[in-house]
Amino acid sequence: MKITKSQLQQIIKEAIEEEMGGDGSRKVRVEWDTDGPGEAPPEVVSVHADSVSEWNQIKEEEGINRADQALEDMLSDETGWLVMDWNWVD
């Protein structure tokens, strides 16, 4: 059985979406605002599976920018530190 280039691209796309859209816990690398006193939280933190699931739901309903902001807010609320930037750790 032969697979066309477009079929292969679709298979790869689905695999990436499945991996990135999973609802298991994930790690994020965070750039914290360190202008204030005290020691910042770790650079890499684990995000609970419930928060990942919520991020995926917001992304589907309201878009990725809103989902990213919601995760930033959650990280700030849990740590008390302002998030300057963050990204998923592969």
Question: 61: domain range?
Answer: 23-88
In percent, how much of the chain has pLDDT > 70? Answer: 87
Does residue 55 form part of some domain? yes
pLDDT of 78 > 70? The answer is yes
pLDDT of residue 33: 92
Those residues whose C-beta lies under 8 Å from the C-beta of residue 74, and which sit 6 or more positions away, are 51
Is residue 21 scored above 90 in pLDDT?
A: no
pTM across the whole model:
0.70
Structure tokens at 13: 């796309």
Q: Is residue 6 part of a domain?
A: no
Count up the domains in the chain and report the number: 1
8 domain residue, yes or no? no
